[in-house]
Amino acid sequence: MADRFDFIIVGAGSAGCVLANRLSADPAIRVLLVEAGPEPRNPLIRIPAGMSRLFHPGPHNWGYTSQSEPFLNDRTLYQPRGKGLGGSSAINGMVYLRGHAGDFDHWRQLGNPGWGWDDVLPLYRRHERSAHADGALHGGDGELSVIDPSLRHAFSELFIAAAEDAGFRRNADLNSGDPEGVGYVQYSIAHGRRCSAYEAFVRPIRRRANLVIVTEALVEKVLLDGRRATGIAYVRHGRRVVAEAGREVILAGGAINSPQLLMLSGIGPAAHLRDKGVAVVHDLPAVGQNLHDHPFASLSFQAPARYSINHRLRGLGAVVEAGRYALTRGGVLALGTTQNNLFARVAPGADRPDIQISTRPFSFIIKGTRILVNKAPTITAAVCLLRPESRGAVRLAGPEATRAPDFRFNYLESPRDRQTFVDGAKLAYRVMAGPRMTGFAPVMPLPNDDEAILEKLRAMAGAMYHPVGSCRMGPGADCVVDPRLRVHGIAGLRVADASIMPLIVSANTNAAAILIGEKAAALVLEDWKAWSGMTLR
């Protein structure tokens, strides 16, 4: 069985949903959107606090686990990834942060014209429906709802004041391109409900006659005719299907799945592919390399009862909040995971923030894949290393698409990463020990020397769930795609998701992943118009 489309998009996550919307806006373009997961029918997807349940492996979560991390005491780390329409935007914490202008300017300096801050800002504005809409920095007419917190916890305001006491400026707009300082984050939430990439970009247009959406379909490989992509083969409900692409196949599966699919298709490091039983079509050593993420550590503090909402997230309190949400779509269940962030520079010579401290007016522990809210009144200050140097890789576990890939991040391999992370933890403790933080006490006292602090961090640090970089963008041999996101050496094939980031952005990555979908669509449509004009002539 075969069907023919102009463009095939593999993966209906943050970038894939934007691509499906933009490409199918032209009725002359026939688009196929293929997703391994199901339709987003689980009601927990729409409830912001429902992400604590979606964190578990299940129909909407690939539920991956890394290989042992040698610099984190050889621990394996759980890595949830969205599976279903909306991808990880359907299960994440809904924090909407663009990143620092310098992040994108650095991408451009690495040989990626068109990716600087001035280039991407209009694309951010295009899809935003922002609470800060002003026509210059923030869009107001786009599909994606971007809001300020609907309520502000007492602890959130207290932490901002404490950070100001410590010498940091209050920043009213962390999405201005310069997030340095302390302020409230924004969320991709609309009227108390999650605004995933699917809800924003695909649900409103999914009846377009030229857009076909196939869910619960596992793509086995990209089909190739020599060095040209011609389509895909996927399995759905036990049946193998071939779909042909007249123009391009676009991979948007994310930093774990996109390199996996390239390698399953014979595109990647030749020796590794042969070792795993995959016929080599194109030796591209960079595929799967440059994998990185934001390592972070959640630091818990005992708190005066009025500053912690743990009691509202457990037992009878949780029942009351569920009733409040059902009646009003308000209360603590209508918010994202964190309320405010402190962006700071701690490494000598840093030109932009290298540490992000995110606070939560509650605390929890993760046991395996379960999230358990603590009983005692506690709060959290989570320390995140924004610009890590350490790199890992994605590799095949075998030649079958049904086998989860192997991957390792090598968190804290770099000595600079280790020192910056330690200094970030010290900063969090310093702010939390400020004069107005009466009644707060660290659950884990801070050791006296840096080496002891590092050992504590090695034992508790985890993933921020922001994997990027494994299909790096750039002109060099260490890159997978060029600045137009075309796979080096293969015609008719692009990658458009967080895997193309040469360097991770200095913020949560979902907003940037949506941006990549927007940019990719613009590039594809430019080429489509050029091709259509040539065809007509």
Active site residues: 466
Three-state secondary structure string covering 172-240: CCCCCCCCCEEEECEECEECCEECCHHHHHHHHHCCCCCEEEECCEEEEEEEEECCEEEEEEEEECCEE
The residues, ordered by sequence, that sit 6+ positions from 260 with a Cβ below 8 Å of its Cβ are 253, 288, 394, 396, 401, 405
Cα 248–Cα 488–Cα 294 angle in degrees, nearest 5: 95
Question: How do strand 295-302 and strand 378-385 relate by DSSP bridges?
Answer: antiparallel
Dig out the tokens for 24 from the structure.
């199918």
Query: If you search the block for the tokens 């060029």, which residue do you land on?
Result: 482
**Is 373 within 8 Å of 362 (Cβ atoms)?**
yes
Quote the distance between the C-alpha of residue 108 and its chain's center: 21
- DSSP state at residue 69: B
Phi/psi at 454 (nearest 5 deg)? Answer: -60, -40
3 beta partners: 243
Dig out the tokens for 256 from the structure.
């774990």
Distance, in Å, from the CA atom of 478 to the CA atom of 468, rounded to the nearest integer, reads 15
In 3D space, the residue among 195, 193, 239, 248 whose CA is nearest the CA of residue 220 turns out to be 239
Quote the distance between the C-alpha of residue 506 and its chain's center: 12
